[in-house]
Amino acid sequence: MDLEIITVGSRGILFHYSDVKMDSLNEPVNIYVINGKNHLFICDTHLGPDVMKEVVSYLDEQGMTSKPIIVFNSHYDPDHVFGNCFFKDELIISHSKCRSLLETKGEELLEQFEKLKKGNVEIVLPNVVFEKRISFEDEGIEFLHTPAHTEDSSSCIDYPEKILFAGDNILLEPLPYLDRSDVAEFKETLEFYKSLLLSGKIEQIVTTHTDIVTDTKQIDELLNYLENYNSFTVDISNYSFRYKLIHYNNLSEHAKQFQEKGNNQQAIDFSKAAFSMLTELEPEATEDLLKQIVAEKERIKTALSELEE
């Protein structure tokens, strides 16, 4: 993992770890630190204590760690919380759902991410939770619930610096992964980010996995996708194979979720849309993938015949 330390505004420090092995791709994983007046705010804790040790020793060298540390978890995913155990005696803030999701899924995630974790990870839950927001008035810093990527996803706003930390709500890809998202909430959060940018309240959006955002282009692309998503009018004509695959995954996940909830008509509609995306994928698929596509099509056909009974 290569580390680059980038200064953002007058009191932000971005620890940019490029090429972190995550699932199938290598991607950057960032940690954002705000050197406040009376506190040192650390946004997200990467994949484990070994990384946080490196971050804190740099902050030590800069003479910043004499202030109390406040850790913030943007959501419960391993690459944002596994380093919490390095901060057992500090305040760790998150949305209440982040704490409860980590409480129920933490051990399972630890097993699942065994190979990716950095150091001896122990699940440490946030010890301060909020529902809508929590403000540090004398610092001009606020943490607030902005559900999008996941239901617990939250952001940090540094008002004097006009910088927002968005966690995974804006990712590397211009297409969101929606398997854990509520589409309406996602749109609402993106509209909120956009209004902050357009009104000039915010000038930079720092994220965990992609470059700093300074205009609305990426947000507009995401919004465009979400606006067409529920009506099955997403224009896939210029989509790469990978984007088609993400789109298929979104549709198929939602089909399953609607079926579980007994929302049959929506389950049928999303299943049919997922099925036709598979047909789109076929011509470009490798032999192995083609086998999976054939199996998936069978699974959807069976699901549809049950739903349409």
Residues in contact with Zn ion by CB under 5 A are: 77, 79, 168, 208
Helix-then-strand count for the chain, H and E: 8, 12
Nearer Cβ to Zn ion, position 79 or 161?
A: 79
Shortest Cβ 206–Zn ion spacing (Å): 13
Shortest Cβ 216–Zn ion spacing (Å): 22
* 3-class DSSP state of 20: strand
Tokens of 181: 């998202």
DSSP 8-class letter at 167: T
Instruction: Using CA atoms of 302, 303, 304, 308 in order, give the dihedral in degrees to the nearest 10.
Output: 110
Beta strands in the chain (DSSP E): 2-8, 12-22, 25-35, 40-43, 69-72, 91-95, 128-130, 133-136, 141-145, 154-158, 163-165, 204-206
Shortest Cβ 113–Zn ion spacing (Å): 12
Shortest Cβ 180–Zn ion spacing (Å): 12
Nearer Cβ to Zn ion, position 11 or 118?
A: 118
Nearer Cβ to Zn ion, position 11 or 46?
A: 46
Best CA proximity match to 23, nearest among 156, 154, 179: 179
Nearer Cβ to Zn ion, position 31 or 59?
A: 31
Nearer Cβ to Zn ion, position 77 or 296?
A: 77
